[in-house]
Chain A
Amino acid sequence: MHIDKDLVAASATPLVLALLAEGESYGYAILKRVRALSGGELEWTDGMLYPLLHRLRRLGYVTTEWRTPPEGRRRQYYMLTDEGRTALADQRRQWETVTRALNDVWRGPGGLLTAMGEA
C-alpha cells in the first residue's frame, strides 16, 4: 500500500514525539521503530528524520546530548521535554478527532446518522 506523501509528513511529528515518550533514543533506532510499527508501510527518506528532530529541538520539544555508548560510536540522543509532552498530548487530541470523524463517516450513512443522533 502506498501512503500519500503529505500524510507521511503530517504524521511524522506525532510519531516521533510518541516514540520519544517511551524513552530517549537516537536517530537510527527511532527510524527502525517507525518501520517496525508500520510494517514498513510508512516510507520515510531516512535522512529527513534529522531535520525534523532538529526542528523539534528548536521548538524545545526535545533536548539532545552527544554520548558514546560503551560498545559504539559517539551519537546524539534525543529526550522528550515537558513541553514536548504537552505538544504530544495536543497532537494526539487532534489526530483522535480526525480519525474519529473519518471512522464515523466510513461506518456508512447509518454510522454517521447514529453519531449525529448521539450528539
Chain B
Amino acid sequence: MESIESQIAQWREYVADAPGLNGHDVDELEDHLRHQIAELSAAGLTGDEAFLIAVKRLGDLDGLSREFAREHSGRLWKQLLVGAGGAEPVRRESGWFEPLAFAAAAAVVVQIARLAGGFPDDEPNWLFRNAGLFVLPLLAGYFARRRQLDFRAWALTLAPFAAAALVINLYPWDADSATEGLVALHLPVALWFAVAFPYMSGTIRSHEGRMDFVRFTGEWFIYYVLIALGGGVLMGLTAAILEPAGADVEQIAAWVLPSGAAAGVIVAAWLVESKQRVVENMAPVLTMLFTPLFAVMLAGAAVVYAATGLGGAFDRDLVGVFDALLVVVLALVLYGMSARDSSTSPDWMDRIQLVAVVSALVLDVMVLGSMIARIGELGFTPNRTAALGLNLVLLVNLAGAAWLSARFLARRSRLHRLERWQTAYLPIFAVWAAAVVLLLPPLFGFD
C-alpha cells in the first residue's frame, strides 16, 4: 500500500496546481479517489490498476479544472491567465511591453497637461476638473486591448470618456465654483466604473463579473498604495542626495511625481492581473487585520457619541469625514466579501463585520439627523447636497448589507443573497457619481 500512498500524494500535488481548484476541492476529490481505489481493490484489482482506473474515471484534469473555475468564478482569473484550456478568447500574458507602453502614454499625457496648465506655479481649475480624464481612458484602453474587444465594444468603452470630456469642458463654470470642485472629486469615481466595462469584456450584467471587478478594485488599490510608498521613499532619498549637489529638487518632483502617479495606475492594474497570486494572499490578510480594528473603533465611537450626546452638535465638515468613513467600511465589507469563499458557513469574521457595519450605521444616523436639521435651517448648497446624497446612498447600501448579513448569521439566508445585493447595488454608486458630475452643476447654476 506504500506505493499507492506515494502515488496518491503525487497525484494530489499535480491536481493542486490546477487552476480553479482549491485545497478543499482537492480534499474532496482525494476522498473520492480513495473510495474508488478501495472498491476496485476489493474487486480484485492490484493497487496500481485500481489507482489508474480511479484517476481515469475522475476525468481529464484540464476539463475538470475548467468546470471548477467556471463554477467558482472568483477563481476564474487564474484560469484565464494560466490559459490552461484557452476556453476564453482572452489574450495570454502579453509580457511587460504592452502595459509599459500604456503607462508611458499615461505619464506623457499627464506631463503635457501639466505643462499646458503651468502647474505647479499656476493652478488652473480645468487641470483638476479634467484630472480623471488623463489616465483612466488609457486604463480602459489597456483592458479593451487585453480583452480583445471588437469595434462596437471599443466604441462603448470610449463613449463615456468622450461624453464626460465634452460635458465638463463645455459647462460655463463660475469662478471659484463649488460644483467644479465636486466634479473633480466625483469624475474619477464615475470613470472608474466606466473602466469596469472593458474589464468585464462588456458583460456588465454578470454578477460574478461585477464581483471580479470589486476584487480587482481592492487589489489594485493595495498595489497602488505599495507603489506610491516605494515611490515616496525613492523621491525622498533622491532629494536628500541631489540637494547638496545643488539640483532643483522641486523641479525634479514636478516632472517625476505626476508621471509616476499616472503610470502607477496602469502598472498596478497590470500587476493585479499578472502577479495575482501575490496580492491574493496578502489582501485577505489585510482585510482580516483591519476589519476588527475598524469594528472596535466604530463601536467605541458610536457608544461615546451616543452617551455624550455629541450626535446632535455635529460640525458641518464632519459629514465629509463620515462619508469617508462609510466608504472605507463599505470597501472593507465589499472586498472581504469578494475574497471570501462563499461556500463556507458564517464565522467570527462575519460577526465582526456586522459589528462594524451596525456601528457605522448608528453613527451615520446621528450625523444625518443633524445634517438634515442644518439643511432645513440654511438650505441646500452644492457641497451639502453631494455629501447628503452620498450619505444616503451609502446608508441604504449598508443597511441592506447589515440586514442580510444578520439573516445570514442566523442561517436564515445565504451569502449568495448578500453578494447579489452588493453587486446589484454597484450601478447605483456609478449613477450617483455621474449625477454629481452631470446634473449638480446645472442645478446650482454652475456656482
Report A's interface with B, CB cutoff 8 A: 26-28, 31, 45-48, 50-51, 54-55, 57-60, 63-66, 73-76
Q: Is B315 an interface residue (CB 8 A)?
A: no
Given contacts A48-B59, A60-B414, A60-B416, contact A76 B36 (CB under 8 A): no
The reply to whether B72 and A54 contact each other, CB–CB distance below 8 Å, is: yes
Q: Is B275 an interface residue (CB 8 A)?
A: no
Contacts of B243 in A (CB 8 A): none
The reply to whether B71 and A55 contact each other, CB–CB distance below 8 Å, is: yes
Contacts of A57 in B (CB 8 A): 343
User: Which of the 9-residue segments B23-31, B101-109, B143-151, B227-235 touches chain A?
Assistant: B23-31
User: Which of the 9-residue segments B61-69, B178-186, B189-197, B359-367 touches chain A?
Assistant: B61-69
The winner among B25, B35, B72, B416 for most chain A CB atoms within 10 A is B35
Report the separation of the CA atoms of residues A27 and B24 in the bound assembly, to the nearest whole angstrom.
Answer: 13
Within 8 A of A (CB), among B316-344: 342-343
The reply to whether A58 and B24 contact each other, CB–CB distance below 8 Å, is: no
Contacts of A73 in B (CB 8 A): 31, 34
The reply to whether A47 and B72 contact each other, CB–CB distance below 8 Å, is: no
The reply to whether A50 and B68 contact each other, CB–CB distance below 8 Å, is: yes
The reply to whether A27 and B32 contact each other, CB–CB distance below 8 Å, is: yes
* Dominant SS among interface residues on chain B: helix
Report B's interface with A, CB cutoff 8 A: 24-25, 27-29, 31-32, 34-36, 57-59, 63-64, 67-68, 70-72, 342-343, 345, 414, 416
B71 (CB) vs chain A CBs: closest residue: A51
The reply to whether B63 and A58 contact each other, CB–CB distance below 8 Å, is: no
Contacts of B29 in A (CB 8 A): 47, 50
What distance in Å separates the Cβ of A32 from its nearest Cβ neighbour in chain B?
8
Contacts of A50 in B (CB 8 A): 25, 28-29, 32, 68
Contacts of B345 in A (CB 8 A): 63, 65
Given contacts A46-B57, A57-B343, contact A27 B31 (CB under 8 A): yes
A58 (CB) vs chain B CBs: closest residue: B416
Given contacts A51-B67, A58-B416, A73-B34, contact A45 B27 (CB under 8 A): no
Report the separation of the CA atoms of residues A46 and B59 in the bound assembly, to the nearest whole angstrom.
Answer: 7
The reply to whether B58 and A46 contact each other, CB–CB distance below 8 Å, is: yes
What distance in Å separates the Cβ of B186 from its nearest Cβ neighbour in chain A?
35
The 8 Å CB contact of B67, one of A31, A48, A74, is: A48
